[in-house]
């Protein structure tokens, strides 16, 4: 449901943004009257919200983070005014048209010295399909003019936001996931185009292999031996590359397949596709095996989840 909420005092605004996103500290930059307006909707796992408000600073403190909750990413698209985002020792000055990503599981602050308008997308981290370590290199990094993909993605996201009041739920859900996929592509491009001097050989190889896995999830023969052969390395070396990051090859393949299956099961436009077909399209041709793996990951069978596709913790 599309919602529009108004706050006519700063305490009311602080409560509104904390309830909409994650618990936040907030302080006004100027004294005097304050008003803020928040509009948007939750499209299954993805929240798309437009904020119009007066000058303020919002922050996510270690104390708030320690209270728990699943990890989310927030992506801000500056529409008017200017913002200053700080996270992970970096700062990004956001001008209209700029986008930047930040992680709700690590401290950050965002300051607006004047009236502003911004579009915020919030979604669980696992939707991106990128490692947390990789994304951590891009938090509080301005992406806008001069960025080959951000210049295309930002106007598209802004355009979708203007259509939120009229979007039917199934189309809105699909569009929300498409936006996250576009963001994943944009961030992956940033990661892979960065200079390699600060990255060890294993980390670079891990990124390439994870990209290969993502592109071949539908192949039922995808496994350590086939992946190692495709990259001209020994299977033992492949396992070592993954173990250095606390991962296993099979575990990463399973996680990414489960996420794609979960997305299809929750997608109203896939209601006509059987559970077995959804498993098979992501490399899990054995229906019983698919059901066991899905239940182990989410605590529900694929059919149960399809009937009640609420966002699930990981």
Two structure tokens written together for 170: 């199934």
Tens of pLDDT along 39-78?
Answer: 998 887 889 999 999 999 999 999 999 988 888 999 999 9
Please determine, for residue 99, whether its predicted confidence score (pLDDT) is greater than 80. yes
- Rounded CA-CA distance 57/75 in Å is 17
Range with the lowest mean pLDDT among 182-196, 202-216, 268-282?
182-196
Q: pLDDT band at residue 110, thresholds of 50, 70 and 90?
A: very high
Please write the tens of the pLDDT for every residue from 243-254: 877 889 999 999
Among 96-100, 110-114, 131-135, 256-260, the minimum mean pLDDT is found in: 131-135
Closest CA to 62 of 32, 120, 23: 23
Residues 133-157: pLDDT tens digits?
A: 888 889 999 987 777 788 888 888 8
pLDDT of residue 194: 66
What mean pLDDT comes out for the span 197-225? 83
Token pair in block for residue 281: 């399209």
Q: For the chain, what is the mean pLDDT?
A: 89
Q: What is the pLDDT of residue 195?
A: 61
Q: Domains plus CATH for the chain?
A: 3-193 (2.60.120.10), 201-307 (1.10.10.60)
Does 305 have pLDDT greater than 90? yes
């Amino acid at each position: 449901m599309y919602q529009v909420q108004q706050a006519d005092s700063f305490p009311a605004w602080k409560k509104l943004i904390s309830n909409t996103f994650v618990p936040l500290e907030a302080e006004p930059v100027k004294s005097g009257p304050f008003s803020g307006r928040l509009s948007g909707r939750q499209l299954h796992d993805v929240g798309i919200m437009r904020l119009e408000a007066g000058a303020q600073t919002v922050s996510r403190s270690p104390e708030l983070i320690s209270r728990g909750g699943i990890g989310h990413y927030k992506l801000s698209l500056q529409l008017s005014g200017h913002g200053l985002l700080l996270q992970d020792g970096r700062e990004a000055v956001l001008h209209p048209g700029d986008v930047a990503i930040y992680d709700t599981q690590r401290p950050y602050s965002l300051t607006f010295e004047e009236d502003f308008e911004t579009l915020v997308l919030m979604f669980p981290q696992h939707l991106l399909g990128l490692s947390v370590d990789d994304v951590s290199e891009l938090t509080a990094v301005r992406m806008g003019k001069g960025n080959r993909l951000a210049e295309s993605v930002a106007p598209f996201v802004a355009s979708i936001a203007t259509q939120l009041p009229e979007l039917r739920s199934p189309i809105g859900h699909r569009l929300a996931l498409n936006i996250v996929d576009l963001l994943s592509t944009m961030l992956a491009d940033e990661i892979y185009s960065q200079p390699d001097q600060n990255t060890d050989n294993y980390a670079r190889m891990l990124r390439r292999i994870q990209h290969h896995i993502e592109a071949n999830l539908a192949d039922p023969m995808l496994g350590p031996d086939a992946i190692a052969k495709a990259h001209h390395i020994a299977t033992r070396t492949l396992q070592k590359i993954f173990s250095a990051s606390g991962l296993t090859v099979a575990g990463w393949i399973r996680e990414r397949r489960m996420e794609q299956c979960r997305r299809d099961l929750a997608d109203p436009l896939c209601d006509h596709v059987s559970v077995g077909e959804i498993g098979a399209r992501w490399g899990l041709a054995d229906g019983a095996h698919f059901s066991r793996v899905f239940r182990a990951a989410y605590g529900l069978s694929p059919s149960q989840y399809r009937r009640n596709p609420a966002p699930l913790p990981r």
